[in-house]
Amino acid sequence: MLTNPSQALIRNSELFQQHRVLILNYEADTFANQCLESASHITALAFDFNHHQTLSPYANSNLQCYFGHKLPDGLATEKYDSVITYFPKAKPLMGYLLQLAAQHLAIDGLLVIVGENKGGIKSIAKLTPDYFSTPIKQDNARHCLLYTCYLTQAAPPLSLTDWVSQYALDTPQGQLQICNLVGVFSEKRLDQGTELLLSHLPDNLQGRVLDFGCGAGVISAALLKANPQLTIECIDINAMALASCQLTLAANNMQANVYPSDGFNQVNGQFNGIISNPPFHDGLTSTTDIATQFVKHSASSLAPKGVWQIVANRHLPYADTIATYFGNANVLAENNKYKLYFHQR
């Protein structure tokens, strides 16, 4: 089943007939594969690892699938006839996507932008830099808008550092330097949930520790600030979050294993600690399924005597799920918005 933006693209497939096409920030469907009925060759870059996992089984000689915030170095200078980009859920990411698209278009190359009506795409003309022509609306269908424009002049070289904000953050473990790329949630002060978590970090952590949904790496950096001997693994589904986490660790002269994982699917073995402010949104939708799956797989990934500690919004039904998979749900601390759950094997 194609998402609404992908259906809108199929309606306009004559735009990229026999083109070599680059697709950026695609969604959890197989549009890129179906696009081969029109295009001659597709390169698809996912910013969400789950979306990459959805499409990658269809890869073939005419469909290349990648995950990350940019194409592999071997394709860094590759040019395409058309670039298709999906308007991101995090609007600040759009500027980065536009500059990335420009790196891969020849002058007069076609850019196609598609997004849901309520997702911010109506502001695309204001967001588009002056090295593109003014975006023109081509279609309004499936509750989506589709715009096209052309690269009119060479864009500045893309540097990740141009899209990162670095700031000092005071935590109970000490001051940290946080690097936050566009599209990644990380306030310039501790959000209430993470503050509650860091104020009650267990002091007996050792060995292998998992930071699930690492984001910009605040929790991992705080853990390493408190105990540099920990072996930390940072996982996230978002390419910009993983890049932010790596930058944060480097800024604090810290090291951890940072890699993409769709839930626990790419995680191996057991952990002595699992510490997290876990995500509970799938795109713009709040969902309890993410919470349930997280708790279930945490229980099987926690080693004997291991420590499991998470912070969660009070309204999320974690208590029953935790009791189901861990046997009990201890609330270590709470405030008017969050609860801190704790379990030790």
In this prediction, residue 292 carries a pLDDT of: 83
**Residue 133 scores a pLDDT above 80:** yes
Say whether 308 sits in a helix, a strand or coil.
strand
In this prediction, residue 280 carries a pLDDT of: 66
Domains and CATH numbers, the chain: 4-157 (3.40.50.150), 161-344 (3.40.50.150)
Pairing label, strands 338-344, 330-334: antiparallel
213 burial (CB, 10 Å; 0-12 / 13-18 / 19+) is buried
**Residue 288 scores a pLDDT above 70:** no
**Residue 281 scores a pLDDT above 60:** no
- To 5 degrees, how large is the angle CA 17–CA 22–CA 24? 125
Crossing angle between the packed helical segments 288-301 and 318-326, to the nearest 10 degrees: 20
Average pLDDT over residues 206-228: 96
In this prediction, residue 190 carries a pLDDT of: 84
* Residue 98 CB partners (closer than 8 Å, separation 6+): 85, 111, 127, 128, 129, 132
Say whether 16 sits in a helix, a strand or coil.
helix
Compare 329 and 278 and report the one with higher pLDDT: 278
pTM of the model: 0.94
